[in-house]
Amino acid sequence: MNVVLDNIIFSLQKSGGASVVWQQHLQRLLQDPAFACYLIEYDTAEANLFRKQLQIDKEDIEDRSSKFLNLKRYLDVKLNDNEKHIFHSSHYRLNKAKSALNITTVHDFTYEYFVSGIRQKVHTYQKNNSILGAEAIICVSENTKKDLIKFIPQADASKIHVIYNGVDEGFRPVNKNESIEHPFGWREYILYVGDRRTPYKNFGFAVECCAQAGYPLLMIGGGQLTEAEVNLLDSKLGNGNFKALQNVRVEDLNLYYNGAYCLLYLSLYEGFGIPVVEAQKAGCPVITFNSSSLPEVAANKHLMIAKPDAVDVVNLLKELSRNSKFREETIEMGFLKAGQFNWDKTYLQTSELYKNIYNE
């Protein structure tokens, strides 16, 4: 079966959840003898953290110029291919050729909820076009499916397939002796993973919670700290009580999850929430919101807050004391929940969808 993959996400992001999902999918698809793969890629792709982890034969890639990519990203793909094939884009593009069977993956509706103006209108137009023009639509959670039906009620619900993301097998519990030296000591810091600058991620609220609870903060990813962020962290936590790390390998991220008191994941909205599952698989408790897709992936509902109240978070942090039975139970619940998510399972469901659409 012929499959054409659009790798544009690797040029739109340096890292990020959508890049992880696409990398994990390609890693398996390219090794599957049931599929003959051809990939479209832009010349900036290999700057992406997750693209670097893939070994792809150059002869299987159509390398395109990234010049004017800010415009090209919104244009459908043109291919001179008359043979029937699956076309799957990593970011809301279609192949309008009659021979193409289009698959669209929908991660979330953050633009629809949190962005306004021309950026939101252009993004939403492209997303709607991709969804309505697809033979099959993959949603990464039930909540994303619910949002799709809410925002695009004319979409054919029979074409929507919920296929959950997975979690890397590199996340696992380790003991203190196996671990690297942690910036603030074993289980003496709070962990924050991902974007800090998008308002709904609630970075400032996470900092306030750490300040009130008296814990230092380790930040993973999200780019270098800005001057404004440093000033905020200095004023709230004090110099020396925070650290930001970039381009952290899975092996090291696992150790940071293990060494953390907990992960604060106080995002108001997620299409899936990969760090929540990663943390739980590593044995790290998670405090998060009871909103969007997060109840689908978080194990302990008692650690899910309904509103951004720092006092509530501080009280939950106290309950998670290092040797408490509640902490042990939370970790066990996290292991069980994380076990439901597996990249091999994700790939199997996606590849079966390819076959079903191709053979219809």
Nearest 5°: the CA angle 169, 175, 179 is 80
The 3-class secondary structure across 72-123, one letter per residue, is: HCCCCECCCCCCCEEEEECCCCCECCCCEEEEEEECCCHHHHHCCHHHHHHH
Looking at the structure of the chain, the number of domains it has is: 2
The answer on 332 and 262 residing in a single domain is yes
Is 111 within a domain?
A: yes
Same domain membership, residue 211 and residue 156: no
Query: For residue 179, what pLDDT is reported?
Result: 66
The three-class DSSP label of residue 40 is strand
Pair 187, 295 in one domain: yes
20 and 105 housed in the same domain: yes
In a domain, 48, yes or no: yes
Tally the residues of the chain.
360
Spatial separation of the C-alpha atoms in residues 168 and 347, rounded to whole Å: 13
DSSP track, 321-334: -TT-HHHHHHHHHH
Q: What angle do CA 119, 45, 17 make, to 5 degrees?
A: 60
Q: At what angle do helices 310-319 and 203-213 cross, to 10 degrees?
A: 50
89, β-bridge pairs: 6, 104
Report the CATH number at residue 52.
3.40.50.2000
Task: Note whether 112 and 33 are same-domain residues.
Answer: yes
Output the CA torsion sign for 31, 32, 38, 39. negative
The parts of the chain modelled with pLDDT lower than 70 are 179
Same-domain pairing of 134 and 146: yes
Tell me, yes or no, whether 157 lies in a domain: yes
Q: Are residues 88 and 103 located together in one domain of the fold?
A: yes
Same domain, 17 and 141: yes
The answer to whether position 171 is within a domain reads no
- Which residues lie across from 39 on neighbouring strands? 5, 61
Which sign does the torsion angle of CA 296, 302, 306, 307 carry?
A: negative
The reply to whether 353 falls in a domain is yes
* Residue numbers of the domain that contains 133: 2-166+342-359
Model pTM?
0.94
Residue 7 maps to a domain: yes
Q: Which of 269, 288, 274, 10 is CA-nearest to residue 115?
A: 269
Contact predicate 306/297, CB 8 Å: no
Residues 57 and 156 in one domain: yes
* Contact in structure between 215 and 240 (CB atoms under 8 Å): no
Tell whether 218 and 106 lie within a shared domain: no
